[in-house]
Amino acid sequence: MFAISFSIIANSILAGRIENMLARMMIGSLTAALPIGLLLTITNGVFSGREMGFGPFLQSSLSSLPLCAIFCLLSYLTACQSFETTANASTVRDEDIKHAKGLAPLLERLPPQKRGELLRLSVQDHYTEIVTTRGRQLVLLRFADALKEIGETQGLQVHRSHWIADTNVVALRKQTGRLLLMTRDGTEIPVSRSYTAAVQARFAALAPAR
């Protein structure tokens, strides 16, 4: 108990003078050997009738040093584990906050298990189909309103009925004069003529060779 208390006190007092935490705690813990030695000397003298003096006191203090060092190491390891747990929890919270800030409001309309990275949007009658890395979902929402809720997701409307995220485009190809976008999952998204120039400019590196 003395060793642990002294190691904690020394760690606080010497924080500005000694950089290494283990060294600070070890100094405090080994210093605790003195009051421990004194207590053992008095206890042995009172209850066992042993000689009390500087010699027995020094011997008791020295014999308690190994235990003090062990308690110091245990306290140090516990403190390090606590700091690591706190740091990890803080990192997780920071990542959650960043994720929440960058989350497209549109994804809040989906079941939690389908809230992944937003890949594309398509019109299906009076619904908008929302496709993410975790699945797809039809939502009763106008396409124009859905486009207002994509948040910071980088993408492009390529057709009056289709919007696609930049990261979901893997290739461009032409078929019978029509330009098509190829997605990660192999889906072909048609590009209307009014959006052709914008698509070719955005994805020039993926354009088919002429």
State mean pLDDT over 81-96. 55
Kindly indicate the confidence band of residue 98, based on its pLDDT and cuts at 50, 70 and 90: very low
The percent of residues in the chain predicted with pLDDT above 70, rounded, is 81
Name which of 56-65, 184-193, 198-207 the model is least confident about: 56-65
Q: What pLDDT sits at residue 57?
A: 75
109-168 pLDDT, tens digit per residue, is: 999 999 999 999 999 989 999 999 999 999 999 999 999 999 999 999 999 999 999 999
Q: pTM of the entire structure? A: 0.52
Q: What pLDDT sits at residue 175?
A: 87
Quote the tokens at residue 76: 């140090």
Q: φ, ψ for residue 189 (rounded to 5)?
A: -110, 120
13-53 pLDDT, tens digit per residue, is: 777 778 787 787 778 767 777 777 677 778 777 777 777 77
Give the separation between CA 79 and CA 73, rounded to whole angstroms.
Answer: 10
Kindly indicate the confidence band of residue 169, based on its pLDDT and cuts at 50, 70 and 90: very high
DSSP letters of the chain? -HHHHHHHHHHHHTTTT---HHHHHHHHHHHTHHHHHHHHHHHHHHHH----SHHHHHHHHHHHHHHHHHHHHHHHHHHHHHHHHHHHHHHHHHHHHHHHHHS-GGGGGS-GGG---EEEEEEETTEEEEEETTEEEEES--HHHHHTT-TT--EEEEETTEEEEGGGEEEEEEETTEEEEEETTS-EEEE-HHHHHHHHHHTGGGPPP-
What are the structural domains, with CATH classification, of the chain? Answer: 2-102 (no CATH), 106-206 (2.40.50.1020)
Res 93 pLDDT > 60: no
